[in-house]
Amino acid sequence: MKNSWLLGLALFGAAHAAQAVSVTLEQATQMALNADPRIEEQRANVAAAQALIQKVDGEGGIRASVNLYAGLAPKATNGIFTNGSNTCPAGQGCTVRTDGMSLNDGITVSGGVTASIIQPLYTFGKLENYRTAAEYNKKFKTEEVALAKGQTWLTVRRAYYGYLTARDTRQFLVGVRQQLADTEGPLTKKAEEGKSPMRDVYALQNGLGLLDRYIAEAQGVEAIALDGLKTIIGVPIKDDLSVADAHIEPVALPSGNLQQFAQQALDDRPEMKMAQSGLAALRSYVAARKADYYPDLYAGILLAGQYTPGRERVNNPYIYDPLNMGIATPVVGLKWDFNPGVLKANVSDAEAQLQGAVAKAQLAQMGIPFQVSEAYHGAESLKQQIAALDKARAASRRWMISSFLDFQAGLVDGGVLALAVAGNTQTQVDYLRAINDYNLKVAELKLATGEYPQ
């Protein structure tokens, strides 16, 4: 169900207001969790799994079967004896007619009904194991919803941090370009007057051109990231959207050590719960398939009736006419659906699926700690890189400013200034990218340990 924030955003879009809506990371995450069709798809699979449980329950309930039919049948009149009656007077020899299925008396329409009401009493474990398998299958599908939420949660952060990084990079580059562009005119005039070499003008113009190239690149990444964020949170691309954060900042690294994170992942990751549910479901499924070798014990009522106009009814317990009869009786029985080849194949298939699930569970137990380790060490490394780049960017900025002042004073040439500008630009851009990469590694660590909305 859409939250109030999404409703407010929809009202904003309908009103075509000039001011863009601003979203925080958490607001964007909640909107995405409400809007992502991939999550709804997995929820539909959970509903289908619940329907399978209901189907198994239905197999254990009362079953009713009714069949109405009509057809053609021969008429039969003039009694059961050749004397034309249904009685045999004393002292007379009577012969039973043998033309019961002939068409001597004509053809008529015959109609009938067969019905049964059956209640299974004992199935040798079929229903119990199939239901247990269905219940664990639902748990399995429920964890797939959590997996889909995790991917959405991570995608929002990738788009959000990517947008902030590109925007900060663009703004920084624009600022540097503005500083350099302000000196182009005076420098050109000095060169034309012969007070400075033209190579300084060319060096400055080369730097401005490169800055324009990098600014255009940052603008493209910025626009793509923002459109990606709109898409994942369910906002039309044509609508206005902004983010609440003024700049990208490093997020806090979760407290704990690698061993704790690895154990948390084995306890909380949806994949581990899926492995447990999948194994339990397949074990019950194998048991149910093996139980298919045995019959079903049932009790119920059988009903049958047939009526054929044009055939006289014979009320004699020793004479049965299937075209004119009625019966209703309680029954207790055993029912087999027995095909040895198919049953054996079904059991083998179930056992093979179980073996595959065991292998996947073992792979998850091996792979998940490595995923945690990769994210943990990556985040720690990037945290140290950010600290180092933070010191370097302060020095590179002072280097650029002092070179710029020396350049204006004629103490250094354009090559020295270009080198300082390039160094400062590279350091600042690397710093912003390191923060982006670090924030994503922290998000990957949380995803790897199951620390996200499930």
| Banded model confidence at residue 1, pLDDT cuts 50, 70, 90 | very low
Rounded to whole angstroms, how far apart are CA atoms 325 and 4?
A: 69
Rounded to whole angstroms, how far apart are CA atoms 209 and 202?
A: 10
Helices (H) and strands (E) in the chain, counts: 9, 6
Q: Are residues 259 and 273 in the same domain?
A: yes
pLDDT beyond 60 at 72: yes
Of 150-159, 199-208, 255-264, give the lowest mean pLDDT range.
199-208
SS3 256: coil
Domain boundary among 283, 317, 335: 335
pLDDT at position 429 is: 92
pLDDT tens digit string along 88-135? 777 677 888 777 677 777 888 999 999 999 899 998 888 898 888 888
pLDDT at position 91 is: 63
Range of the domain at 69: 65-75+105-122+296-335
| Banded model confidence at residue 15, pLDDT cuts 50, 70, 90 | very low
- Total tally of structural domains belonging to the chain: 2
Domain boundary among 278, 308, 335: 335
> Any residues with CB less than 8 A from the CB of 423 and at least 6 apart, and which?
396, 399, 400
Does residue 180 belong to any structural domain of this protein?
Answer: yes
Q: Are residues 287 and 303 in the same domain?
A: no
Rounded to whole angstroms, how far apart are CA atoms 160 and 152?
A: 12
Q: Are residues 168 and 267 in the same domain?
A: yes
Does residue 89 belong to any structural domain of this protein?
Answer: no
Does residue 153 belong to any structural domain of this protein?
Answer: yes
Q: Are residues 386 and 423 in the same domain?
A: yes
Q: Are residues 285 and 192 in the same domain?
A: yes
Residue 388: both structure tokens together: 């180092």
Q: Are residues 323 and 181 in the same domain?
A: no
Does residue 90 belong to any structural domain of this protein?
Answer: no
**Cα four-point dihedral sign 373, 378, 381, 387:** negative
What CATH number does residue 411 fall under? 1.20.1600.10
pLDDT beyond 90 at 191: no
Q: Are residues 235 and 273 in the same domain?
A: yes
Q: Are residues 116 and 131 in the same domain?
A: no
Domain boundary among 283, 306, 335: 335
Q: Are residues 313 and 237 in the same domain?
A: no
Does residue 26 belong to any structural domain of this protein?
Answer: yes
What's the whole-number average pLDDT of the chain?
Answer: 85
In 234-339, alpha helices (H): 258-268, 270-291
Q: Are residues 118 and 41 in the same domain?
A: no
Q: Are residues 342 and 319 in the same domain?
A: no
Does residue 311 belong to any structural domain of this protein?
Answer: yes
Does residue 242 belong to any structural domain of this protein?
Answer: yes
| Banded model confidence at residue 316, pLDDT cuts 50, 70, 90 | confident
Q: Are residues 50 and 129 in the same domain?
A: yes
pLDDT at position 288 is: 85
Cα torsion at 143, 149, 151, 157 (round to 10°)?
A: -150
Does residue 93 belong to any structural domain of this protein?
Answer: no
